[in-house]
Structure 1
């Protein structure tokens, strides 16, 4: 049964999430910056509800979750997910992490290996060359989306999103309207961008991940860095690397079946 719910974490943040299914195997979906759990709707709809129970939270400051305590510290977002899982008694998870959600997934596997049975990384992002949070605004892609959100300019956001994220397929007009409205709810795009920049995933930390890892990357994702993907696949000794044809950064819209196959494999 699909539902939307929320609860307050011990740190005072109100965490909103989507849930579907009542099966024994639990799935956790972690979204990227400039997005919310709503972007996973196709995956949420596709799961076998008798076999799986799926949880898709909005990260702190994103979508319908609160932003009581502003932070650009990567581990703060990881700690939120730890508390989210503890509250809902989620262990032995299949974790699907997209963008910064991919980095959170890996850190979760390092800090709480009992919570993670399998990891699917969807278009994990490398960092950009910036010395501090303000310097991130010199990156034209980040600057355009942050500016659109600050101005609450949905039309310009849709145009910039189409340019950056939808090189192969664009959502329907109705779906795009919903997604852009979700993105405009975000309170902390620059803070999350810096959290991504300053993540704690050293090579030594990556080598501590022992769970099976599947890395899915879109053929048309203009944000991906080949060297970063090679580093990930090299340091994650249990990882396999798979290119998804005709897919950009938002694989859950371009080819949700590729993600579903990774979940059910």
Structure 2
């Protein structure tokens, strides 16, 4: 296995992005993580993907090794950071894989830089129409009201506040139970990796802002019930693979089909068998088979 190196890049906005890089051939693949994770959660991909690929996994602002000096307001803020990071690395042609929230960041990148993004892979991704945030009561039960502002989301008693409190008190057992309820419902990482993932989750400094960014994200050509769409999805010309797990409790198949509808003929949906929201853990071999087949087409 080729070694994995860790680096940082200083951005013009004063932020610093950390990243992991695994050497390989001339074909570059950029990995963008989701909420409550960082580049550390791409470890199995970095270790196992074919060595024909040179792989870069970034830590978004407020996660992992990256700084968080300016609050983010949208997924576009993350995308702007990633574009400058890519420029600093000197990448001119590359494919991108975005997982969950990172899929929205990857879509911004593909829409803004069609001359650079060769192929786009969206893994259990947020829809082109966003990921709605509904109010919950203090028992975690939904009330049916969609929240509209970052302040409302930050004060939500059943979802946001318990996680914020767990992060503040470094309560890894709370995070373990949360992930085993929603994400690691079928398979779990081996103990050493699991401990590293939980430790990494504690680095997040922007939970409410991310929820707000997902709630207001909409690059479709229609209104999503909260905001109108920008139509940017139609600017994605890179061949796109939309992957979702048939056991996913976080992102339903409906969102994958919305992505395909909004991007158009260049997007192809593929289900992953016996996988939840983290095919990275549930079945990395199946995931990497699908990914490498697509990249080789």
TM-score w.r.t. length of structure 1: 0.94
More helix by share: 1
Please list, as runs of the form range in 1=range in 2, the aligned pairs for 1:16-165 lying within 5 A after superposition.
16-49=18-51, 51-125=52-126, 126-128=131-133, 129-136=146-153, 138=156, 140-165=158-183
Q: Structure 1 stretches of 5 or more lacking a match? A: none
Q: Residue 14 of structure 2 corresponds to which residue in structure 1? A: 12
Is this contact kept in 1: 2:260–2:267, CA < 8 A? yes
Q: Judging changes above 3 Å, is the alpha-carbon distance between structure 1 residues 144 and 240 closer, same or farther for their aligned structure 2 residues?
A: farther
Q: Judging changes above 3 Å, is the alpha-carbon distance between structure 1 residues 142 and 32 closer, same or farther for their aligned structure 2 residues?
A: farther
SS for the counterpart of 1:15 is: strand
Max radius of gyration: which structure?
2
Is this contact kept in 1: 2:4–2:20, CA < 8 A? yes
Which one of 170, 183, 189 corresponds to residue 207 of structure 2? 189
Q: Structure 2 stretches of 5 or more lacking a match? A: 134-145, 222-230
Is this contact kept in 1: 2:29–2:55, CA < 8 A? yes
Give 1:243 shift. Answer: 1.1
Aligned residues: 264
Q: Structure 1 residue 261 and structure 2 residue 289: aligned? A: yes
Is this contact kept in 2: 1:214–1:262, CA < 8 A? no
Pairwise CA RMSD: 1.7
Q: Structure 1 residue 168 and structure 2 residue 186: aligned? A: yes
Give 1:261 shift. Answer: 2.0
C-alpha separation in 2, matches of 1:112 and 1:3: 26
Which whole-Å deviations, capped at 9, do the CAs of 1:184-214 have from their partners, x for residues lacking one? Answer: 0111111112112222413321112111111
SS for the counterpart of 2:189 is: coil
C-alpha separation in 2, matches of 1:98 and 1:206: 17
C-alpha separation in 2, matches of 1:169 and 1:145: 22
TM-score w.r.t. length of structure 2: 0.84
Which whole-Å deviations, capped at 9, do the CAs of 1:22-52 have from their partners, x for residues lacking one? Answer: 3100000000011111111000001233x11
Which whole-Å deviations, capped at 9, do the CAs of 1:56-92 have from their partners, x for residues lacking one? Answer: 0110000111011122222111100110111111132
